[in-house]
Amino acid sequence: MAEAVVYVGKRPAFKYVGACLSLFHSGHERVKVMARGLAIPKAIEVVERMRNHFMKDIIVERVDLGSEVLVREGGTPKRVSVISITLRRG
């Protein structure tokens, strides 16, 4: 199956853990956890909960860091940090 993506945002971390678990149990080999800005620590928390509590055979395959430029309502650009963590079933 193709790589699935979970976008981390404002909801509690365990909601995203459940989404990752359901994707792995439905047959996906890889799940990418993505977040921007203030949600980055929550994405890391999701990955650590997956690795330490739910699926011990998960391997962090790749971590990509970067930034995106978003345009505010007033038209001014704003740079926002981005993280993408790729998990693979080991």
The predicted structure's pLDDT at residue 1: 62
The predicted structure's pLDDT at residue 3: 75
The predicted structure's pLDDT at residue 2: 66
Domain ranges of the chain: 4-89
Per-residue pLDDT of the chain (90 residues), as tens digits, is 667 999 999 999 999 999 999 999 999 999 999 999 999 999 999 999 999 999 999 999 999 999 999 998 889 999 999 999 999 988
The predicted structure's pLDDT at residue 13: 95
| Residues 71, 86: Cα–Cα separation, whole Å | 27
| Residues 72, 52: Cα–Cα separation, whole Å | 38
**Domain 4-89 belongs in CATH node 3.30.110.20:** yes
Count of C-beta atoms within a 10 Å radius of residue 20? 23
